[in-house]
């Protein structure tokens, strides 16, 4: 098996950057810790196939960095999310930290692959607007109508449609299944290509809300990371707490404008608490979303909302255990998005990037990169 002469100091740097111990990384690779230590000591060279696993699957760094003369000086995107309370930051697993760095690499790739957004995100600015007015303004500019949303009758279809619309404005969404199930997503702002990262472990109705919530973070000009349990908001600074409350309000008004309130109340009075799922399906949102709107409208009591939300979340957690995986390439394409993936292959076929660079942008092994192309429509 062919081995490669890497810079062992870079391997140590990349592991520590991901906050993984020798034991944790060795266990995830299913190799003896003594062997991994030998790679880091420079007394043994890793096989190329194993190095690819370390780079792409475990540490989320380009393979090329292991051949640099010294560890690269890179800004850590995790530091951009310091708005979180310390207790919340300490809960983040190495898997989520790696996803944040992966999102940063996708953001860097967008500048190479896309170059410039076809539309000016400045047209979405909501400065000095009230939250409800801002949500209505953004829906109007994006041409994401409530009539269109009603036709979806599927959170997955609504998510895909909104994701595609935002791509036209240079706001790209990436996905992965995070080990931290309590994290629904995060965003990294940028003047050129702000990115949203969504936890694919969540239901599509939750993913849709996360997409709208992280869009609000971007429009309010802050990096954000969102926990499904919102109790952490109370531990934030006054400024950050107000921002999170506004982002939740924006997402709520964006997904269901206040003009729909009478229709929701009427349907609730006809169907009752057990019919909330039917109302939710009309708008492609979750039952909890509708129940929260009914709470805000004074149609249900706080105790009812708390009890039902807890019940539904428990049902979701019981049903969202480890599910059998589907086709790897189809799933990976869904994580990247077709627009981003197609842009990478266009750049490669134009001779602007190499096969190795193409693989790095797409976060796959170079030997397998063209299998992914076969799944593009």
The first and second tokens of residue 213, run together, are 């919530």
Q: Among the CATH numbers 3.30.465.10, 1.10.260.40, 3.90.950.20, 3.10.450.50, which is that of 8-74?
A: 1.10.260.40
The first and second tokens of residue 240, run together, are 């950050």
Separation of alpha carbons 219 and 247, rounded Å: 9
Helix (H) or strand (E) holding 226: strand 224-227
Q: Which residue has the tokens 């292959």?
A: 345
Contact call for residues 365 and 323 (beta carbons, < 8 A): no
- Answer yes or no: is pLDDT of 264 > 80: yes
Phi, psi of 21, deg, nearest 5? -80, 165
What are the domain boundaries of the chain?
8-74, 80-255, 328-373
pLDDT value of residue 284: 92
For the stretch 37-58, pLDDT in tens is: 999 999 999 998 899 888 877 8
- Using alpha carbons only, give the angle 208, 238, 185 rounded to the nearest 5 degrees: 20
Burial 32-48 (b: 16+ CB within 10 A, else e): eeeebeebbeeeeebeb
0.85 exceeded by pTM: no
Contact call for residues 105 and 86 (beta carbons, < 8 A): no
SS3 assignment, position 279: helix
Separation of alpha carbons 157 and 243, rounded Å: 29
Measure CA 73 to chain center. 25
Tell the burial category of 376 from Cβ atoms under 10 Å away from its Cβ (0-12, 13-18, 19+). Answer: exposed
Selected residue with higher pLDDT from 362 and 236 = 362
- Answer yes or no: is pLDDT of 243 > 60: yes
For the stretch 70-117, pLDDT in tens is: 887 766 666 677 666 666 777 788 888 888 888 888 988 898 898 887
Measure CA 273 to chain center. 32
pLDDT value of residue 84: 67
Contact call for residues 29 and 40 (beta carbons, < 8 A): no
């Amino acid at each position: 098996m062919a081995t490669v002469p890497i810079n062992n100091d870079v391997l140590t740097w990349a592991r520590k950057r991901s906050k993984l111990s020798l034991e944790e990384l060795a266990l995830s690779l299913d190799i003896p810790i003594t062997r991994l230590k030998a790679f880091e000591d420079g007394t043994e060279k890793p096989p190329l196939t194993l190095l690819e696993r370390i780079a792409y699957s475990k540490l989320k760094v380009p393979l090329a960095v292991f051949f640099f003369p010294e560890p690269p000086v890179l800004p850590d995107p995790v530091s951009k999310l310091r708005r979180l309370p310390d207790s919340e930051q300490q809960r983040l697993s190495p898997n989520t930290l790696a996803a944040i760095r992966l999102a940063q690499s996708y953001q860097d790739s967008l500048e190479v692959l896309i170059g410039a957004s076809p539309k000016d995100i400045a047209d979405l600015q909501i400065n000095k607007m009230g939250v409800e007015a801002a949500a209505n303004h953004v829906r109007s500019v994006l041409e994401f109508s409530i009539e269109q949303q009603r036709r979806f009758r599927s959170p997955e279809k609504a998510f895909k449609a909104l994701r595609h619309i935002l791509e036209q404005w240079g706001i790209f969404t990436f996905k992965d299944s995070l080990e931290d199930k309590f994290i629904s997503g995060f965003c990294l702002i940028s003047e050129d290509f702000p990115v949203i990262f969504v936890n694919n472990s969540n239901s599509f109705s939750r993913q849709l809300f996360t997409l709208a919530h992280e869009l609000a973070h971007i429009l309010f000009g802050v990096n954000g990371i969102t926990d499904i349990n919102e109790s952490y908001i109370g531990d934030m600074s006054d400024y950050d707490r107000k921002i999170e409350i506004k982002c939740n309000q924006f997402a709520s008004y964006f997904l269901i404008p206040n003009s729909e309130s009478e229709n929701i109340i009427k349907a609730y009075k006809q169907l009752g608490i057990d019919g909330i799922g039917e109302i939710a399906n009309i708008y492609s949102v979750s039952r909890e979303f509708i129940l929260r709107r009914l709470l805000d409208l004074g149609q249900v009591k706080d105790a009812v909302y708390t009890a039902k939300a807890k019940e539904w979340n428990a049902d979701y957690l019981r049903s969202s255990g480890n599910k059998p995986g589907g086709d790897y390439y189809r799933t990976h394409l869904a994580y990247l998005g077709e627009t981003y993936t197609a842009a990478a292959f266009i750049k490669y076929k134009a001779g602007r990037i190499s096969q190795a660079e193409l693989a790095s942008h797409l976060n796959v092994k170079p030997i397998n990169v063209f299998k992914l192309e076969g799944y593009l429509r």
